Amino acid sequence: MKILNEPKELQRLAETIRLQEKRIGFVPTMGALHDGHLSLVKIAKQRADVVMVSVFVNPLQFGKNEDFERYPRPFERDVELARLAGADILFAPSAAALYGEGFQTFVEVREISKGFEGDVRPTHFRGVATVVLKLLNLAKPHVAVFGEKDAQQLALVRRMVADLNLDVEIVGAPIVREPDGLAMSSRNVYLSAEERREATILYRALQEAKRALESGERNPDALKRLVVATISSVPIATLDYAEIVCAEDFSPTPALQSGKTYFLILAARFGKTRLLDNLRFSL
């Protein structure tokens, strides 16, 4: 596995690979890799000849009082995990290399950036859209793989790719979970032992909703109430939101329609740690 730090070097290599008519698969990450990320690398490998993984903790997508500084950066371990998962190229630029002097260009995906994570983190999605566009321009992939755990981010990336006519296929990959159901996240390491134990309530709440759906429940409010009630059984969990949204445009839905795909999304805090989870379903 080749490790590159210079944006221009990655771009030149990507161009060379494309001219060889090889397909490039790309997995952008903020590092602190876990099995969720590694599943994305595997999907990229199935769909491409050369797999690039980027490791970059993007300052632009963190708010002022967020965890940019303490975000985990186990770089040597990430290198090893990416290599074992079969990545061919690991791109790890510095912030200075990616955001040069005079940087002033931002991408805004408007409606999808509003609500949910966009409400709690007002400049987050502008930072995500901007860095993803930059990385796509450098890695020049034919296909890029994103995790479905960050469902709003995935919808935003799909929308940006369509709106800006980017020539890349976006693939969403299912959430990977710990044995007890907790969705894998680089932020899980922040949890205390108690918080870690109780955090499985998010998965359990989603499973309750899934069972209700399977039993024929079609009322979004009833499904949400079920999730809220389940999570409220854990006193140390503070629910930020639970909502059912259309998968495509992330708009809340007043009524479920058959043939459409939805996410039941939720965010909850355990102490200072915010966790996301969701259930994807179609009727």
| Residues 5-24 contacting a copy of itself, CB under 8 A | 7, 11, 15, 18-19, 21
Q: Among the options 34, 37, 124, 142, which is catalytic?
A: 37
Please state, in angstroms and rounded to a whole number, the distance separating the CA atoms of residues 118 and 161.
19
CB of 250 to a copy of itself, least distance (A): 11
| Residues 105-124 contacting a copy of itself, CB under 8 A | 105-112
For residues 14 and 239, which CB has a smaller minimum distance to a copy of itself in the complex?
A: 14
For residues 86 and 115, which CB has a smaller minimum distance to a copy of itself in the complex?
A: 115
Give the binding range for a copy of itself (CB under 8 A) out of 44-52, 74-82, 83-91, 94-102.
94-102
CA distances (Å), origin 233, targets 57, 202, 229 = 35, 11, 7
Show contacts of 20-23: CB within 8 Å, 24+ apart: 22/48, 22/49, 22/50, 23/47, 23/48, 23/49, 23/50, 23/142, 23/143
Q: 36 burial class (0-12, 13-18, 19+ CB within 10 angstroms)?
A: buried
Exactly one of 82, 138, 205, 206 binds a copy of itself (CB under 8 A); that residue is 138
Q: With CB under 8 A, what is the number of residues at the site for a copy of itself?
A: 35
Exactly one of 63, 249, 271, 272 binds a copy of itself (CB under 8 A); that residue is 249
Determine the residue type at 239. Answer: L
Exactly one of 65, 70, 96, 104 binds a copy of itself (CB under 8 A); that residue is 104
Determine the residue type at 6. Answer: E
The closest alpha carbon to 159, from 58, 242, 244, 250, belongs to 250
The closest alpha carbon to 271, from 189, 177, 178, belongs to 189
Exactly one of 5, 73, 122, 162 binds a copy of itself (CB under 8 A); that residue is 162
Does 95 bind a copy of itself (CB under 8 A)? Our answer is no
Residues labelled as active-site residues: 37
Q: Which residues bind to a copy of itself, rule: CB under 8 A?
A: 7, 11, 15, 18-19, 21, 98, 100, 102-112, 129-130, 133-134, 137-138, 140, 159-160, 162-167, 249
